[in-house]
Every structure is written in C-alpha cells, then in structure tokens.
Structure 1
Amino acid sequence: MSEEVLDSQQRTDCPPEQVDGYEEGAGQQHENGEHVARIGEEVLSRLPDDLYIPPDALEVFLEAFEGPLDLLLYLIRRQNLDILNIPIAEITRQYMNYVELMRELRLELAAEYLVMAAMLAEIKSRVLLPRPSSSAEDEETEDPRAELIRRLQEYEQFKQAAEELDQQPRLGRDVFTAAVCAPECRPQTPPPDVGLKDLLTALTGLLQRAERYQTHSVERQAISVRERMSETLKKLPHDSYTPLGELFTASEGRSGVVVTFLALLELVRESLIELAQAEAFAPIYVRAR
C-alpha cells in the first residue's frame, strides 16, 4: 500500500491492524475476529451473504465509511448509506493511489473500480444539482440510485458470468488437441520373380533381332564377360528399372548378345542386379541393387 493511503488511514484514526486483510468469502467472519468495515460508529464484523469481495479489493477510508469499495456500493444500492455523506474527491484520491499500487499487480481489477468511482461521482453530482419540479413518475425515472442499482446488477451478472467462464476447461490450459500424425504408409508391392523360361524367351527375341543386322567382317577385340559385367553395372541406376533390351547392342551381333546375356546371368548370380516382370511374356526390367 502506498504512503498516501497510509496517511489517509492515520487521518481517519483507524489503526492499520484493524483493516489489514479481509476474508474473501461472503458471510464469513474475519479469522482474527477483527471488523471488516465501519459505517459511521457501527462496526461490521461480517460481510453480507450476497456480496462477493474479490482479492486485493480497493479499501477506502472515509469519515463515514471504512472498508471495501464493493461494500460501499452495496450499501448505497440498499439505501443503507446516504451518498451525500460520501466525499467523492477523497475516494478519487485514494483510487489514484490504488491504481499506482495495482499497475504492476492486477490492472484489470483497478479498471473495475474506476467504473465504480465514476458511477459514484455521477450519482452524487446528479443528487446535488437542482432539478426542475416534475411529477412523481418523472422523479422516479430520474432517480440516480435506481440507475446505480441497474448498473450494479449488470456488473454483477457480467462478473458472475466471467467467473463461470473462467472455471470452464480452456484450450491450451486444461484441454490439449492431439498433435500426433499417423506415419505415411505406402504399400510396397514386390516385383514378381523372373524364371529361367522368361529369360530364355527374352534371349530368343534378342537373337532374332540381332540377325536382322548385317555385320562386316571386321576384326575387333573380343569382349570378356567380366568387362561386360562392369559396363552393365555402370549403365544401371539404383533407383529405377531399365528395360532389358536397352542393355544389348544389336550392332555387336550374336557374339555381343551372348556376352551381354552371360554377364547378366553372372550379375544375377552374384546378387548385383535385380530382374522384374509384371506378368508372363511382359517386358523384363533390370535394376542395380
């Protein structure tokens, strides 16, 4: 509590220990038996059952009243306290000290009491200002206390609704959405096995295609099976299949086809390549392992 509020306590001759700490629940007596408010010479040791005082509530210290500002508005609404006896300027001064104290603690609570102080100032100004004579019905509609009651009822409804909403489960605080994603599942269909009959059928077709080319009787260096195995592995990628026919060079003649075919058989035996065929008599594909 700031020094100005402590000074106001000394001016009202109210010891700090008599107003230090109030019970938060309504209808309960202070645990030390001390009073919770003072109205003139009357000391209150219990709060009304239908009044809720929030924690860190604003305390006002006046000549006619000492206690929470919520209780002051409650008594004015019930016409248990004359608003003409309430010094609005002193409430405003104590409120400014309270705002400075709550600036780093609970600013939203200070904003609520700013509305209360403004309502008190408006009501007292309307009571003090002269009003033209009118019928009793007009006086009743212009009664500032009735307006205060209406606003306080709305304020209590919104405050109660806010408390009920705060007790509901909150996303990110009490309830958390599932953030686990199922792993992507891609069906893997293994390629069908290639039998010896399929290889012989493919060889027959390659030999027939090689016979269509006429070769010149030119002496050339013989190609070994081991060399053709190395050349074949260099042509085959690891991530895709290559048609079997692309591995044969028709211009090499029958000897080139036979050497390449033997190289493929040797690579299959050593598990260096993989053969695949979608169905019977379908093209055969080769892939390096």
Structure 2
Amino acid sequence: MAAAPDSPPAVPVAPDGLPEVVDHVAVARLYGEPLFALPTDLYIPPDALEVFLEAFQGPLDLLLYLIRKQNFNILDIPMADVTRQYLDYVEQIRRSNLELAAEYLLMAAMLIEIKSRMLLPARKSDEGREAEDPRAELVRRLLEYERIKLAAAQLDALPVLGRDFLRVQVTMEQALEPRFPDVHLADLQEAWAEVLKRARLTQHHRISREQLSVREHMSILLRTLHGRRFVEFQELFEPERGAQVLVVTFIAMLELARERLLEITQAEAFAPIYVRLAYQPA
C-alpha cells in the first residue's frame, strides 16, 4: 500500500536512535538531542554575539600590535598600510562604543598628518641639515611604550601574594599559650634603673700590669724554630694576645738576630720573609 501523498518525508535515523545530522552539522544539542535550527521565538540581544579578538590598552598598543604582527621595521614604518589598518579598527569600535573610539581618533589624526607630511617634498632647515623624519616622534613613543610594556609583563610574572601563593597561618589554642603577668614599660624601666644604681655602688676599678719578659719570649722563639727549617715571619706572632705581646715578641726576634742566633731572609723584593735558626743542632 502506497503512503499518503501529504505525509512528511521520513527523517533518517542513526544507529543510536537519534536523527542523523543534516549536512553532518548540528546547531546545538539540547538535553542530548541534536538541534538543527534555532527556535523562532528565541531572543538574542544585539551585542550578545560580538567577539573582540584582541584587547588593546590604547592607541599605542594597537599600533605596536599592527607593526609587530606584520613584521614591519619599527624604524621604517609603512605609514600607508598601518594607517589603513588602524582606521579600519577605529571604524569597528566607533560603531559599538563612541566614547572608546574618541581616544583612538586623536592618534588617527596624527597618523594622517604624518602620512601627509611624507608625501610633501623634504625641505632642508636654515642650517642646511636634512629635515627630520616625520615618523621620528612616533617611533620614539612606540619604543618607549614597548619597553614599559615588557617591564610590566616581567613584573606581572613575579609571584604575587594572594594570587600565586598564600601566607601560612598557624592557629594556636589559647589554652596552650602560657599566661605571663602583665608588666608595663614603666615598671621595666624602674627595675633596670635600680640594677644600675646597685652596680655603681659595688663596682671596683683596678689597674694591673702584665709582666712581659723579653728573655722569656726569646726562649719561646727558639723552641718554636727548633727542628724546623724555615718559618714564615707572620707565623711567629700571636695577634689574639694583644699589641703588647706582639711588641715584646718582635724585640725578642731582633735581639736573637743581633746575637746571631736567628737568620732573617728574603728571596727578592716584596717576597715573603722567612726566619730560621742560625745553627742546626746535630
């Protein structure tokens, strides 16, 4: 029996029981079911489908993006191409946000002025020097902006408290903390003043003299050099014992050298000084 002429055409069914996607493309899936067309009563706000592919911080940021994206030499900017691309972007944002576009229009006027000045024949200055490139000021501003932008990116990459790490906070039970009596600062000052007062009443000032013998240090030097071939000059002194001992040790060394019991030698000027016994016992 043939099908009725007014019956709808059969929809192909996939093996999983769902209708096959028309042209292998579905608009969306609603609760697992493929949706082939948007509902006719669906309201979409005009700005809902607008997509900003790039976000710029200002006119200089946009110019730097256009130059770097196309690998232009920033010291030799092709003003015609850059100005045309810049104006296209300004026209797009002017349609949606006139207040935002106002900031970019001033730079657009500057680009047009630079392009116009480049079309005019170059005129030398009164001193006979070549006229400055109309793009020089723009290049200087772009390079300075790029340096600041790179520095800001490096600072942003540093760890930040609250974003990349948190402070460790340890909670202590109040019952475990020892309770000390409250002492005011004035009480500590009075107690310290009392200690100083008692110390001044009991202190004694004594002066003593250390007995240092040159002969004794001469014997010490002879014992130190005994059995050793050469000893460096500095090794015979003990700085930690004070200046008085150093002086007596030096006098003892000179006395031994005068009595020809020591030999003080030096290979050349500014070379280390060595000391040895003038005789070597068998």
TM over 0.5: no
Higher RCO, 1 or 2 (CA under 8 Å, sep at least 6)?
A: 1
